[in-house]
Structure 1
Amino acid sequence: MSAESPHDPQPIAPVTPLRHSAAAEGPDRLLGAALRQLRQERGMTLEEVADAQEISASVAKLSRLERGQSPVKERDLRDLLRHYRASTEQQEHVAGLFRGIREARGQAAISDLTPKWLERLILVEENARSITTFERNVVPGLLQTPAYARVLVRSELRAEKAAHDEVIVNWHVRQRLWRWEAFEQRTEGDLEVIIGETALCQVVGDRAVMHEQMKRLREVAGGPRVILRVHPFVGGSLLAPRQPVTHLVYDDGGPRELVYFETIDKAVYLTSQAHVEGTRERLLHARDGALTRRQSQKMLDDYVAKYAEGRDGSGEAEA
């Protein structure tokens, strides 16, 4: 394990005691984000919605619903969908989300498979005080270059036989780029990214793709917006998460935290308190085993030089 220097930040999201139902309430933010999405698409303010005759809710209540601070009641949901003039398809998707969250109270997780799931995920991230993400094997989507993302998207779509459909591939690549643009527009909130060294040495595409991607990571690592640290082969923690995971912490009055896993076509939100606490602990182990920011920047410099000189020795096979 590596000791932090005085110049390195303290952990962004320390373990804090939470009431037993906190994890189960976390996905309420998901439904709140869906309602906020519909309202914003109609160009309405909270005040305008609260003033509507058919809506029996104050601005404060609507704000709580959109933050996930108050559970959405079926009648409120029905009235809001009607007021937002939601299409039949939109009503079915939001109603399905409502049922899924309600039924997931006693389960370990809930999956958001509905259209615009990524837009909703970005809305959920928007109000987070801190975001911590861990990825062991590849560069997280938020930090991928277009060329790197394109190779991964094609690989992920092979199972669906859509790897050669340029429309689908381009859509997924644009979504990843759009996500970074959305992050850059944030004025508050911290982002900490912990990347396994495997993601640096595993060739995705070819050396040119990797060289560009390493330069991108080095640029981000040296900037003020992102705390980027590498979890190394030597000295890393064996107790770090086994799969990619993101942990969100809030201080806006809604549910305190939210944990999710992400695939190419959905997000899976944990609703089990034990699973959330276990994931949080594993992220702390990943932090403890990661290099300092300066050490991580030095390692990225080495990989930038390595790919520039073609000395990775891994060949040019596509991932």
Structure 2
Amino acid sequence: MSTILTSQPSAKGRPDDAREVLGRRLRSLREAKCLTPIEAGRHIGGSGSKISRIEWGRIKAKADDVYQLLILYGVTDPHERKALLELARRLETRQWWDAYGDLLDGWFCSYLVLESIAQHIRTYEVRFIPGLLQTPAYAEAVIRLHHTDPDQVRRRVDVRMQRQHALLNNKTPQLWAVIDQAALDEAALPDGIAGPEVMRDQIAFLQKAIQHRNVNIQILRPGAGGRVGVATSFSLLRNKGLPDVAYLEHIGSAFFLDDPTVSEPYEITMSRLAVAASRPEDTPQILTEALKAIGGD
């Protein structure tokens, strides 16, 4: 299994990276059974070329075809079957974020696909509050750092709010966020981008968010350790039926790492950060202190 590296802006709205995640898993299952693409293609009434294009993420894999391939490959684990079929369906059918396809890069659409089927999301944020937990005003301030068109900013905020709604109004995914305490400081947002009231409202929102059973937040205090070798924010997406995916976002591109040998260091790093950070039960008090520090109640 290889690693996806998106180093150039991908086609708007096209989740090619998520297709490749599905394709690589199907290829590994086929190869484990010592079957050729031609044999697999014959099983679904297609060709070896079709199987190859599915495995390389060049075309959509129909959920019905994936179902038949899983039978051929002898996949009986219910978690894996469910995860792969769910991923195929997300890629095959229109989703809510397709309405923003003219706005969103393909790599981010791929992230939305994988996020939508994740059962657990673990994230470490160095500078900002995680996107899933941002208020509309805070999200707008962050987005305006890279985008200036008012309509684009508004629609990007809409995307974050829809993601947040899905998180807070369902039992899954389970979100476990480790946030650097500097992100709670009024100075976290550059001068002129937003006033202190934006940060006050943001922290107050976090106080409400942690009351949801599927949201846990830990704060990494200054000098707590655990940051050594961690230069950027990252997330880990987990679904029982798929390999974990480490996701690292950069300006204009992103990395999707679904090879366990490559994602494992991020698993270890996330565990180290969680040990170094404050306990989740201490988060309410830390948020209260942060709110008072910027003039909140």
TM-score range, shorter chain: 0.5 to 0.7
CA–CA separation in structure 2 for the residues paired with 1:142 and 1:269: 19
The 5 Å alignment of 1:116-265 reads 117-157=107-147, 163=148, 165-201=149-185, 202-204=187-189, 205-239=194-228, 241-252=230-241, 255-263=242-250
What's 1:61 paired with?
A: 69
Match of 1:57, SS state, is helix
The structure showing larger relative contact order (alpha-carbon pairs under 8 Å, at least 6 residues apart) is 1
State whether residues 23 and 257 of structure 1, in contact with CA within 8 Å, keep that contact through their aligned partners in structure 2.
no
TM-score (norm 1): 0.60
Q: Structure 1's 242 and 61: CA in aligned 2 closer, same or farther, altered over 3 A?
A: same
State whether residues 30 and 124 of structure 1, in contact with CA within 8 Å, keep that contact through their aligned partners in structure 2.
yes
Q: Aligned partner of 2:116: which letter?
A: E
Match of 1:298, SS state, is helix
What's 1:30 paired with?
A: 18
Q: Structure 1's 240 and 209: CA in aligned 2 closer, same or farther, altered over 3 A?
A: farther
State whether residues 30 and 68 of structure 1, in contact with CA within 8 Å, keep that contact through their aligned partners in structure 2.
no
The total of aligned residue pairs comes to 229
Q: Aligned partner of 2:154: which letter?
A: N
Q: Structure 1's 257 and 155: CA in aligned 2 closer, same or farther, altered over 3 A?
A: same
What's 2:29 paired with?
A: none
Q: Structure 1's 296 and 259: CA in aligned 2 closer, same or farther, altered over 3 A?
A: same
CA–CA separation in structure 1 for the residues paired with 2:294 and 2:128: 16
CA–CA separation in structure 2 for the residues paired with 1:274 and 1:250: 17
What's the CA shift for 1:143? Answer: 0.7
The unaligned stretches of length 5 or more in structure 1 are 1-20, 36-51, 73-79, 85-89, 94-112, 158-162, 311-319
What's 2:272 paired with?
A: 285
Q: RMSD across aligned C-alpha pairs, in angstroms?
A: 4.0
What's 1:295 paired with?
A: 282
CA–CA separation in structure 2 for the residues paired with 1:275 and 1:53: 35
TM-score (norm 2): 0.64
> Can you list the C-alpha shifts for 1:117-161, whole angstroms capped at 9, x where unaligned?
44442321232231101101111111111111111111123xxxx
State whether residues 197 and 231 of structure 1, in contact with CA within 8 Å, keep that contact through their aligned partners in structure 2.
yes
Match of 2:178, SS state, is strand
State whether residues 247 and 280 of structure 1, in contact with CA within 8 Å, keep that contact through their aligned partners in structure 2.
yes
The percent of aligned pairs where both chains have the same amino acid is 21
